[in-house]
Structure 1
Amino acid sequence: MTCTRNRVFPCFVVALLLCTATPAIAQGDGDAATGGQTQSTPSAQDLYTSAQKLFDQGNFAEALIGFRHAYNASSSPNARIMIGTCLVALGRTAEAYEEMSATLREATTRAETEPKYVRTRDAAAKHVALLESKVGKLVVKLVNPAGVDVTVNGTRLPPDKLGVPMAVDPGTLVVTATHTDGRVERREQAVKAGESAQVTVEFPEPPPKKVEPTGPVRVEAPKPAGGEVRRGGPVRTAGIALAGVGVAGLVVFGVTGLMARSRFATLEDECHGARCTDLKYADVVDSGTALTTAANVSLALGAAGLLGGGLMVWLGGPSGGRSAPPSDSARTSFGSPAGPAVGAGFTMSPGRAGFHCTVAF
């Protein structure tokens, strides 16, 4: 493995890992490389062995894929520490720090019951300490995170990473938050190696919608043309009531008809289309017959009610009347011997025994 000038640190770390991590893995129990895999599950061991060969040949990208497969098959901290080692060799320092930190947590937990992971735990702790000064830490705090998607330098940030420090490569980071309603907030934050920074993203409340003031709306009932006053008669009112009874009868017909049909459908299904002679179906037959009778009666009453009510509404509908226009003659006038005098409210004419009055309404 050769190292160029701009890859001195990764090569140095890889060399250090080979001196510390590999013996800790290789000197464990016989199945330490796969976290306790036995001969009954050789696939994880084969994956790990193949990835180790690629790593030894300096093919770190392919080895990274192989160690990830080995970890997925075994969940062994030994496979995960090699994932971090490959990331260091590839110059992906921040990702390597996260993998080493995860390895440290897993190996610490496993070492409490499986002593073979003590060396893996100690090796991971050394690697984390070595990488600590080479990465920055960024905390993305999101106010009201519901419906918001966050990316850092174009990479989506998982929800569980919000509000907690995460390792990042030193430099200027672009944090973009996109709301489901289309609003976008963008922040830039410079992070130095060995230092921490925080970015808080909050979407301002959208301005309230402007409501144009409107005056009171006056709704007037339409007036009959020509001053006509329409009045409904008692026959029309009775017709409306009768039509309502007819509608109710049709509703009852529909309900009872469906219920009767359901009863007879049950008989057809259980008796296979033949006449049911079993006494256990007597209640079903009786209820179906009663519902059929009720449906027919309701249909007849409904039809009669609608027909009769419609005729009563049509023939006994509102009558039209026209109010008399005011007249200048709306005053009292007395007649003369030549004939009766006509007034607006009443007329008076002379009689043989005196005056008598006839009032016309």
Structure 2
Amino acid sequence: MLRTSRALVIVLAACAITGTAAAQSEPAAEAIEAARADFVEGQAHFKGKRWAEALRSFERSYAAALSPNAQLMIARCLRELGRGPEAAAAFASAEGEAKRRAARGESKYAETAEAAATEGERVRATLGRLEIHVSGDATLMVDKKVVALSKEGDAIVYHEPGPVQVSVKDDAGAEQRQTVNLTGGHTVAMEFRTEGKVAPIAPAPAPPPPSREEPARELPGWMLPAMLVTGGVTLAGTGLFIGFGSSSRATYGELYSRCGAAQECGLEDRAQADAGKLSQTIANVSLGVAIAGVVATAVVLYLGLTNQKGAPSN
């Protein structure tokens, strides 16, 4: 049973993997070099028939550079390891990605796409194929493993030859089960219909008992004047920061356009440069004042709300 569960592969997953890889950005030069090194290492393991070690190397290579060639070698390793359904999905993924890359002008991947299609077809010919359709909202499981359904309620599953259990459970908890015996190269179509029963609506909870009215809470008398002061400080600091900051930027911009990036200004520009520096200093101080005003306003608001008149005491 463990082997059967591990062998379960959904072809739709291969499409999702390929789409994700295509959406990612081009790898960096360092990643490409690392991918090449892992690919060469994987080829050495593959020639030595060390399939598991080769698989790990090719998986690292693919993760670094998203190459269809690495995908193709991953599929070959899975095939040699006897993991047929996973190999079928990997061949399909490599074929789809190689065709997309070739269509974008990377002609070197045309041969990869052809090899993936040919070898993938051979692997799929040894597997049983399930075509499942579910009508209504339900969860599909194959060998106790959840299988995603398309929007139309369809799923295609490749499985090792032998018995396979398929079950569907609707939202109400009703479950349907079927067991079929798959043979290599053959397709079995299955359909499940769920009634889609709606769960009964629970009665509305009873309203809470009426509570005693609490006295109205008033803000402390000092809160409004304090907020006016702190708010005024914030506005003043912000205004000065904007004004003097703009003046400083304009001054430095004029000096830059006249003196150039090397800052080769003469003595006649010293006064203007000092004025720009003074404006920048005032702008920085004003920004600090504005920030202090914001903090003070928050403190006043917090103290006022936590010391409202009429607030219940413990």
The TM-score, its normalising length taken from structure 1, stands at 0.46
Q: What CA distance in whole angstroms lies between the structure 1 residues aligned with 2:220 and 2:172? A: 50
Which residue of the partner structure matches residue 262 of structure 2? none
Which residue of the partner structure matches residue 117 of structure 2? 125
The residue identity in structure 1 corresponding to 2:117 is A
Which residue of the partner structure matches residue 82 of structure 1? 73
Following superposition, the deviation at residue 74 of structure 1 comes to 1.4
1:254 equivalent to 2:216? Answer yes
Q: What CA distance in whole angstroms lies between the structure 2 residues aligned with 1:157 and 1:92? A: 18
Higher relative contact order (CA 8 A, sep 6+): 2
Taking the TM superposition and a 5 Å limit, the aligned residue runs for 1:163-242 are: 163-179=154-170, 182-206=173-197
Q: Secondary structure at the residue paired with 1:194? A: coil
Following superposition, the deviation at residue 259 of structure 1 comes to 8.6
Structure with the higher fraction of residues in helix conformation: 2
Change beyond 3 A, Cα 1:267–1:73: same
Q: What CA distance in whole angstroms lies between the structure 1 residues aligned with 2:166 and 2:175? A: 11
| Identity fraction in percent | 24
The residue identity in structure 1 corresponding to 2:158 is A
Following superposition, the deviation at residue 127 of structure 1 comes to 0.8
The residue identity in structure 2 corresponding to 1:157 is V
Q: Secondary structure at the residue paired with 1:175? A: strand
Q: Secondary structure at the residue paired with 1:111? A: helix
Which residue of the partner structure matches residue 49 of structure 2? 58
Following superposition, the deviation at residue 67 of structure 1 comes to 1.5
Q: In the alignment, is the contact (CA less than 8 A) between 2:32 and 2:65 conserved in 1? A: no
Q: In the alignment, is the contact (CA less than 8 A) between 2:76 and 2:87 conserved in 1? A: yes
Which residue of the partner structure matches residue 147 of structure 2? 157
Find the partner of 1:140 among 132, 136, 141. Answer: 132
Deviations 1:97-145 (A, max 9, x none): 2211221111111112111111111211221232242122212222223
The residue identity in structure 2 corresponding to 1:152 is V
The residue identity in structure 2 corresponding to 1:123 is A
Find the partner of 1:110 among 101, 106, 110. Answer: 101
Change beyond 3 A, Cα 1:67–1:267: same
The residue identity in structure 1 corresponding to 2:140 is V
The residue identity in structure 1 corresponding to 2:141 is T
Deviations 1:232-252 (A, max 9, x none): xxxxxxxxxxxxxxx9xx99x
Q: In the alignment, is the contact (CA less than 8 A) between 1:84 and 1:99 conserved in 2? A: yes
Q: What CA distance in whole angstroms lies between the structure 1 residues aligned with 2:56 and 2:141? A: 24
Q: Secondary structure at the residue paired with 2:126? A: coil
Structure index of larger Rg: 1
Deviations 1:166-196 (A, max 9, x none): 3222222111334565443322223322221
- Structural RMSD (CA): 3.7
Deviations 1:234-282 (A, max 9, x none): xxxxxxxxxxxxx9xx99x837x3396652451475589xxxxxxxxxx
Q: In the alignment, is the contact (CA less than 8 A) between 1:97 and 1:132 conserved in 2? A: yes
Q: What CA distance in whole angstroms lies between the structure 2 residues aligned with 1:208 and 1:160? A: 24
The answer for unaligned runs of 5 or more in structure 2 is 1-25, 201-211, 234-308
Q: In the alignment, is the contact (CA less than 8 A) between 2:171 and 2:197 conserved in 1? A: no
Deviations 1:279-323 (A, max 9, x none): xxxxxxxxxxxxxxxxx9xx9xxxxxxxxxxxxxxxxxxxxxxxx
Following superposition, the deviation at residue 55 of structure 1 comes to 1.9
Q: Secondary structure at the residue paired with 1:61? A: helix
Change beyond 3 A, Cα 1:263–1:57: same
Find the partner of 2:83 among 92, 95, 113. Answer: 92
Q: What CA distance in whole angstroms lies between the structure 2 residues aligned with 1:78 and 1:45? A: 11
